Structure formats: C-alpha cells, structure tokens
C-alpha cells in the first residue's frame, strides 16, 4: 500500500503532495530510511537472533541493523501495533518469507490479537557519501 503523499509524489502532483501530510508512522519510517536507497524487493530475508526488529504503528516492521535494513509493510499495515508481540511458528528459523503468517499476542495476557500476512521485504541500503557524490 502506497501512502497518499508517496502516490502523489510518484505521479508528480506537487500540490497534492503538499496537501497530504505524512502520518506519524510514515515520518518515523522516513527517518529510518533516510540516506538509504531502496533495492529490489525480496521474497525472503535471513534473520538472526541479534537483529533488531522495529515496529512502527500502522506502518511497517523494520528488520536488521547496520548498512541494510528490510521494510515489511504487510498486507494490512493499519493493523500493526507496537504493543503486540510477534509469534512465528515456522520451521525455518533463519528466514522470514513473503506469505509467512505470523500471529500477534498481547504481551501481558498472552491472548491472540491478530495475524500478520507478510508481503515482499524491501531492502534499504545506506549510501556512502563517496557514492552520492559521483
């Protein structure tokens, strides 16, 4: 799902871009990917226990740290809640893949709160200043 601001910008509609404000989550995501370049969407990503997961309400999950991070917007980003805990029941513990279904639970009660349906993971890689200059 593309935000109204991103859609307007993509279509070259400067007036619409100015009129549509980014949500709090979109602003937070923009700050995380600032200085990075989007790569080709990936069906699966490798995950490690020490990698960071950032949950941005109503927007996206962001995996990884360092030079490359992966943005997962899911099929229903409006249902992403940073108070929920992701529970994955997958057999391959080193990968997350498109169309994996992950459940969410309340961290206090352990009660099921929903399901997350993953889409493609978009990598964002930090661009070195030398690369930007030339």
pTM of the model: 0.77
CA nearest to 73, candidates 32, 14, 16: 32
Q: How confident is the model at residue 4 (pLDDT cuts 50, 70, 90)?
A: low
| pLDDT per residue as tens digits for the range 15-71 | 555 558 999 999 999 999 999 999 999 999 998 877 889 999 999 999 988 899 999
User: Domain range holding 57?
Assistant: 37-133
Instruction: Note whether residue 127 is domain-resident.
Output: yes
Query: How many domains are contained in the chain?
Result: 1
Residue 115 lies in a domain: yes
Mean pLDDT of the chain: 84
In a domain, 6, yes or no: no
Q: How confident is the model at residue 1 (pLDDT cuts 50, 70, 90)?
A: very low
User: Is 12 a member of any domain?
Assistant: no
Identify whether the C-beta of residue 94 lies closer than 8 Å to the C-beta of residue 48: yes
In a domain, 25, yes or no: no
Residue 13 covered by a domain: no
Determine, yes or no, domain membership for 3: no
Q: Which residues pair with 97 in a beta bridge?
A: 44
């Amino acid at each position: 799902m593309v935000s109204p601001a991103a859609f307007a910008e993509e279509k070259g509609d400067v007036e619409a871009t100015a009129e549509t404000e980014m949500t709090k989550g979109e602003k937070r995501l923009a700050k995380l990917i600032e200085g990075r370049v989007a790569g080709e969407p990936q069906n699966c990503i490798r995950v490690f226990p020490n990698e960071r997961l950032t949950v941005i309400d109503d927007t996206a999950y962001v995996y990884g740290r360092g030079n490359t991070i992966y943005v997962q917007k899911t099929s229903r980003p409006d249902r992403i809640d940073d108070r929920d805990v992701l529970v994955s029941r997958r057999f391959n513990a080193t990968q997350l893949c498109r169309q994996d279904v992950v459940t969410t639970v309340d961290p206090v009660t352990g009660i099921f709160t929903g399901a997350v349906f993953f889409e493609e993971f978009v990598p964002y890689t930090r661009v070195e200043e030398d690369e930007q200059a030339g």
